């Protein structure tokens, strides 16, 4: 085998390695469309924005039986989730965080799409205020509860369904419809000084009140009622970096071909 052929093979091998690297990084990056649905019929519970993060499993916003911290209170009391998002960013700077915004009234569906690197952010964490309430919310206590992606980047959990029995009371605000967000005057709210605990029965005490959406509330929930669904749809997308790698690989191949043509035309051996 000639020296020049060796050189050309080396060039083609490097190009192939670059393209393989591009393919590998492409497989880790996906677009995940999160679709949330309020599974309740008219006049039942609604929800504030869904705060969410695709993450490495290191952010834990609350614990059952413990005093709620500012992050989960920011979701549970008024739904804004500002402190929850900030604490999430501090605990896991590489997470893909965001929200499916807008109040989710009974029967309603909303969605949003997030670009996720499944090689690092395999877990899913969420939290949303239950409306109307003083400080009720849904969310996962255990940050490792929902591993959405396996080591190969394949979706393991197509959807999460939340039942009424999984509604939390943050224990931070005393039950009082007159002070509840979305039905009362939230500036009137008073500290409860309790701990995070399951509690959906309290919602029935709002029956007959007019909600911010204009309907007369009727909880009608039992422990087995399905109230909320979070669905995941995944679409593969090449990241910009993989295009650059692929372009570099193609340019290397093109260079090798031009070099060979040039060598053939001049009749001399290539000395790469
Ligand atoms: Ca926890
Ligand atoms: Ca409470």
pLDDT at 271 over 50: no
- Residues 131, 88 within the same domain: yes
Residue 1 Cα to ligand 1 midpoint, Å, equals 64
C-alpha distance from residue 258 to each of 8, 244, 248, 267 (Å): 11, 21, 15, 14
Q: Are residues 182 and 60 located together in one domain of the fold?
A: yes
CATH number where 86 lies:
2.60.40.2130
CA 203, 72, 228, 185 torsion-angle sign? positive
CA 143 to ligand 1 centroid distance, Å: 7
Compute, in angstroms, the gap from residue 138 CA to the centroid of ligand 1. 13
132 Cα to the center of ligand 1, angstroms: 24
Domain count, the chain: 2
Query: What mean pLDDT value characterizes the chain?
Result: 88
Name the 3-class secondary structure at 35.
Answer: strand
- For residue 56, the tally of other CB atoms under 10 A from its CB is 16
Examine the domain organization and report whether 47 and 174 are in the same domain: yes
Asked if residue 272 has pLDDT above 50, the reply is: no
Do 168 and 261 lie in one domain? The reply is no
Same-domain pairing of 215 and 249? no
Q: Are residues 128 and 14 in the same domain?
A: no
Same domain (yes/no): 17, 65: no
Q: Does the pLDDT of residue 110 top 70, yes or no?
A: yes
Bridge partner residues of 126 (DSSP):
52
250 and 143, same structural domain?
no
* CB-CB contact of 72 with 81 (8 Å): no
* Domain match, 184 and 158 both: yes
Instruction: Say whether both 224 and 262 belong to one domain.
Output: no
Domain that holds residue 258: 3-23+240-271
Q: Indicate whether 173 and 40 sit together in one domain.
A: yes
> Helices 3-28 and 240-266: crossing angle, nearest 10°?
170
Residue 96 clears pLDDT 80, i.e. is over it: yes
């Amino acid at each position: 085998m000639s020296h020049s052929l060796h050189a050309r093979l080396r060039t083609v091998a490097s190009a192939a390695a670059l393209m393989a690297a591009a393919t590998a990084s492409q497989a880790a990056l996906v677009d995940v469309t999160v679709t949330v649905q309020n599974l309740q019929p008219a006049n039942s519970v609604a929800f504030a924005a869904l705060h969410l993060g695709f993450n490495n499993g290191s952010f834990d916003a609350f614990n059952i039986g413990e005093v709620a911290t500012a992050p989960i209170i920011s979701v549970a009391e008024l739904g804004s989730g500002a402190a929850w998002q900030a604490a999430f960013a501090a605990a896991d700077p590489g997470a893909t965080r965001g929200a499916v915004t807008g109040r989710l009234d009974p029967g309603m569906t909303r969605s949003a799409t997030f670009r996720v690197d499944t090689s690092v952010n395999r877990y899913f964490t969420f939290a949303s205020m239950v409306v109307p309430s003083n400080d009720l919310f849904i969310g996962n206590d255990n940050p490792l509860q929902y591993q959405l992606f396996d080591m190969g980047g394949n979706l393991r959990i197509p959807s999460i369904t939340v039942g009424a029995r999984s509604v939390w009371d943050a224990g931070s605000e005393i039950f009082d419809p007159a002070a509840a967000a979305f039905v009362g005057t939230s500036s009137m709210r008073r500290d409860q000084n309790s701990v995070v605990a399951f509690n959906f029965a309290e919602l029935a005490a709002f029956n007959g009140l007019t909600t911010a959406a204009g309907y007369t509330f009727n909880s009608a929930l039992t422990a087995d009622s399905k109230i909320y669904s979070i669905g995941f749809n995944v679409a593969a997308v090449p990241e910009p970096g993989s295009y650059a790698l692929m372009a570099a690989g193609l340019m290397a191949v093109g260079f090798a071909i031009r070099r060979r043509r040039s060598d053939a035309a001049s009749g001399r051996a290539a000395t790469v």
